Amino acid sequence: MTAIRGTIGVNKRPGELGAHSLDMFRMAVPDLAVAQRFYTEFGLEVREEAEGLGLYTTGNTHRWMGLSEGPAKQLTGFTFAVFEEDFEPMKRHIEAQGVTLIDPPRGIASDGLWFRDNNGLLIEVKIAGKTSLDGKAAFGDRDFSVPANTAGSWSRSSKPQVRPLRFAHLLLFTPSVPDSIAFYSRVLGLRLSDRTGDIIAFMHGIHGCDHHMIAFVTSGGKPAGLHHCSWDMGSVNGIGLAAQQMADAGYTKGWGLGRHVLGSNYFHYMQDPWGSWSEYSADIDYIALDHDWPAKDHPEEDGIYVWGPDLPGDFLHNYEADR
């Protein structure tokens, strides 16, 4: 295994056990060519790999998403990363919680820990470098103003191309938000950031993390599925430029621009060809490793946004439950 160690007092909360990053996620789609075009236009680097397609951000060798081909779109699972010195303690901890470890899926080489979560999704825990940030992400590089007598914008023909800077988080449909909070806190050491009753909840890692690395929204008792994956653009202008790039490429169904209450990030969502969403995001709240965030139960009106256009009618529809 690769030797990755936490630095006490810098990027690791001393004496506490928990995943430090959501390392990647895996999804099956019915047509990889359709997926390749969508995610390429979205601004990601899409590479053909043995299992299907790998998704990367520009200039980063980290694989954020793995796509395989299947009969229907389906979130199949994800990988959490831990520090090397936490791997064996984490193994003992997971087993002590009554979770059964299983073999990796056929064709996947892994020396990580594999099991299923309370939703039936396949989870891997492995040793890997920390991809969750060690401080709040930079914001606003494209949101500066200009002095008088100076044009502040680009023309349509000269506007720059923009790409996501990093993968940020996932929001999952779950049959039970309380059960998902309980499982991910008990087994993986994540902490609740904020919630709206049993409708939606946001969870962060204990070693320094955005407001949420994973979140859960009720699917009304139906099976689990992907609501959205989120990608940091670094600025509001970056979000707007990216949304326009998608519109220019023919992807016009989206929701935004707006700003969330829980997490505070600006957003614009694009609907993918299978009904779930990919979010352009910027300026999300950050929870430092030495801070105990006061998780609150917020009113339903604050669960989605503080300002923005009306929600699309199918924004909270779990298309994976239709298969």
Measure the CA–CA gap between 190 and 211, rounded to whole angstroms.
Answer: 11
The angle at the Cα of 33, spanning 32 to 36, to the nearest 5 degrees, equals 85
- Tens digits of residue pLDDT in 19-43: 999 999 999 999 999 999 999 999 9
Nearest to 210 by CA among 152, 318, 105, 282: 282
Report the pLDDT value the prediction gives residue 55, as an integer from 0 to 100: 98
Mean pLDDT, rounded, of the chain: 94
Q: Which tokens sit at 132?
A: 């969750």
CATH 3.10.180.10, applies to 21-131+164-322: yes
For 276-320, the pLDDT digits (tens) are: 999 999 999 999 999 999 999 999 999 999 999 999 999 999 999
Mean pLDDT within 203-231: 97
pLDDT reported for residue 54:
97
CA distances for 199 relative to 117, 136, 203, 256, 289, angstroms: 19, 27, 14, 21, 27
* Continuous segment of H or E residues that includes residue 170: strand 166-174
Residues with Cβ within 8 Å of 71's Cβ and at least 6 positions away in sequence, in order, are 30, 323
Q: Which residues contact 282 (CB under 8 A, 6 or more apart)?
A: 139, 232, 233, 234, 235, 236, 238, 239, 265, 266
For 124-151, give the DSSP string: EEEE----S-SSPPP--TT-----TTS-
CA proximity to 124, closest of 207, 61, 66: 66
Q: What percent of the chain has pLDDT over 90?
A: 86
Highest mean pLDDT among 1-10, 80-89, 141-150: 80-89
Report residue 43 as tokens: 């601004």
Which of 56, 57, 78, 53 lies closest to 68, judged by CA? 53
Question: Are β-strands 65-69 and 52-56 bridged in parallel, bridged antiparallel, or unpaired?
Answer: antiparallel
Q: Which amino acid is at 128?
A: A
Average pLDDT over residues 60-87: 96
pLDDT band at 1 (very low <50, low <70, confident <90, very high): very low
Confidence category of residue 271, pLDDT binned at 50, 70, 90:
very high
The pTM of the full predicted model, rounded to 2 decimals, is: 0.94
Confidence at residue 2, expressed as pLDDT on a 0 to 100 scale = 35
Contact 22, 9 (CB under 8 A): no
What are the C-alpha distances in Å from 251 to residues 175, 268, 277?
A: 30, 13, 12
**Which DSSP category does 102 fall into?**
B
- pLDDT band at residue 246 using 50, 70 and 90 as cut-offs: very high
The model's pLDDT over 76-128, given as tens digits with 9 standing for 90+, comes to 999 999 999 999 999 999 999 999 999 999 888 899 999 999 999 999 999 99
Q: Are 81 and 232 in contact (CB under 8 A)?
A: no
